[in-house]
Structure 1
Amino acid sequence: MKKLRIGVVGLGDISHVYLTTLQKYSDLVTLCACASRTLEKAQRKAAEYGIPQAYACAEDLIREADVDLILNLTTPDMHYPLNKLALECGKHVYTEKPLAGSFAEGQELMQLAAQNNLRVGCAPDTFLGGRLQTCRDVLDAGTIGEVIGASAFVIYHGGETFHPNPAFFYHKGAGPLMDIGPYYVTALLSLLGPVSTCCAMSKRTFDTRPITSQPHCGEQIDVEVDTYTTGLMQFASGAIGTAMFSFDVWDSNLPRMELYGTKGTLCIPDIDPLDGPNIFGGDILLRTQDNYRWYQMPRAQADLDKDWIHIPITRPFRSTSHAENSRGIGLIDMVLAIAKNRPERASGAMALHSLEVMEHMLDSAQSQQFRTMQTTFDRPAPLPEDFPVR
């Protein structure tokens, strides 16, 4: 098959993982050009990864570089304008999340892509990792029966304690729901399919946040977004989802995700709020009626001694590291999808639906009304057994 030529815009911390992954698939893609805010940084990255062309301006790369696909790793506020420019210039797009700054912008991008016969893919692609793909296998096998509910929790005290430039977490287009929420919403969508209705309650706890990380320690961040959101989702399948997203909480022992079925419960138990569907691997726990703990009252010690069953990860891409993992396999799947004329799994359609769900949650919190989804998508097929693993 013909290799796709890739131009990368945005060379921040996340770019290392993407570029490392794409280098492993040199038979499928060629890294042709990269752009950063300064030519010096772009040249440095180009030299490090053997990229022939470096640009000081993302717009120049998109307009001038002889590439087939733009990988957009810029900050969220630049996703919409750069994705739009790429589509206008006849280039496919694979972008970091979110797809755009608003649902309306996302709709415009998807309409533009359809008009120009172009593909749009969007992170996160961690749902293609070994853990969530194994969860999909467990669901498809009927091990926990019909899924009747799900829960997701990502609650901690924000990024200003560790991130070198944390202000964007609290600017419009971010906040816990829009910044880290896409991992959790996408994980649920990939497992359960589209949402039909949602609602939420939300609040902004602090007007300013002190930065305690370097190099901006002591500076204050003006908070422009809500920082504690609790949402409800009615899935088209009938399942009901509950989710909490917060940058206001001083620690918790909640699991990251659980799925509740008529025959059992699946649990992603990670305590670290930046694990869960943020990473590709990790533990999966199972309970069924055979190891249910609460049959008797008073409690029987034999029941209390029953432990969770550990489900072995049977799929590839199992890293639990944030520094070295498989981010970018969604783009590789998109390249194969273009070649084989099939849908990509980390699709723009699912990203647009995710964006609609999250935006409608925030709208619902203001209007105190349920919101009905306008969009839908086809639940992505599991990764095939012959998917290339490098």
Structure 2
Amino acid sequence: MVVVFALVALVVLAAFAALHRYAWLRLVRDTTRGPGLARRTGTVVMVAGPLLMVAALVAERAGAPFWLQRVLGWPGFLWMALSLYLLLALLAGEGVRPLVARLVERRARTKDTAPIPAPVPAGTAPTEPKPEPEPERETAAREEPSSSSRRLFVSRVVGGAVAAAAVGTVGYGTYGVLRGPAVKRVTVPLAKLPRSAHGFRIAVVSDIHLGPVLGRSFAQRVVDTINSTQPDLIAVVGDLVDGSVKDLGPAAAPLAQLRARHGSYFVTGNHEYFSGADQWVEEVRRLGLHPLENARTELPAFDLAGVNDLAGESEGEGPDFTRALGDRDTSRAVVLLAHQPVQVHEAVKHHVDLQLSGHTHGGQLWPGNFIAAATNPTLAGLDRYGDTQLYVSRGAGAWGPPTRVGAPSDITVIELASTQA
């Protein structure tokens, strides 16, 4: 098993190095006139970027000193997003390059063949200029640098467009995350919901991912947005943090300000188990949230249940649907908090009316949405499986790069509707 993992890691690293060499060839070597400051600077960037990215990933997973994680996090994780869009833009640029080269060549040919009229003395009739024969060796010497200059010009035009597209995409996607999630409102009808609970509002937030990059100010922005919706209940459905309570306790402190008439509830996501789920369960409880560890609580109008994330199975703390739902009154509606959408299949077996999930990030970075859609029953939004409805939030934050492209962050206010109303 270790040998297989090592081989896979070597293949991935080799592919990663090859892609960066390709980017260096197109963006640095082909756009510079040989060794010099510009080429040296570009080379340093192309080498330092991937090294910082790997260092940021290793530092986070290995539990390096938090100050080091923060130093490496911003440049390292941003390079992760930037390298993706540089590669995609370069591939698109390969299709555009021949067209640009043809236009430049045509323009140069037109300029070279255009006749230059000779000055004509006053009072004399113009005569056709007689071209002077030029030695073949001199012509070739004159054309060679011109051809080389045109190739350099094409490389710079395409390379500049590639860099601008990648930087612009990542910059806008990062701004979208840092300004905070938007509020979505979705109405979900439940057949078993009593008329008295018609219009009950649940604020659903997932995948905040507090860590070396997104810290206390981001948490405060999320809390303020949730509170502004004045929900009846708040559901935090996992992946709250990427780190320990020791490092991220201050960042999570604004959660104590969450306000809802029927309280705030929390279930674990897979990332909580990377840094100690038990300590975070206790921390959120201290902050005033109610952890639902394979448990259920009876609210006046419906049951609210929660199950642990699948990642807890490695620690003997996986999801237990029987414990959470086994002995309930099935005539009452039940809303289940479960981090991963794939858990809906068990929810169907236990006659859950509505499951609230996150985990997918909506793909976070296009075209990652195609991969996320292939590995999850629902990528984002409201769906139905048998008699169970599933709502998947795209999440409030971001993992790795603080960037989203094609998958804007959200906090969703689910308004429950009684079919008896």
TM-score of the superposition, structure 2-length normalised?
0.28
TM-score of the superposition, structure 1-length normalised?
0.29
Instruction: Give the structure with higher Rg (CA).
Output: 2
User: Which structure shows the bigger proportion of residues in strand conformation?
Assistant: 1
User: Which structure shows the bigger proportion of residues in helix conformation?
Assistant: 2
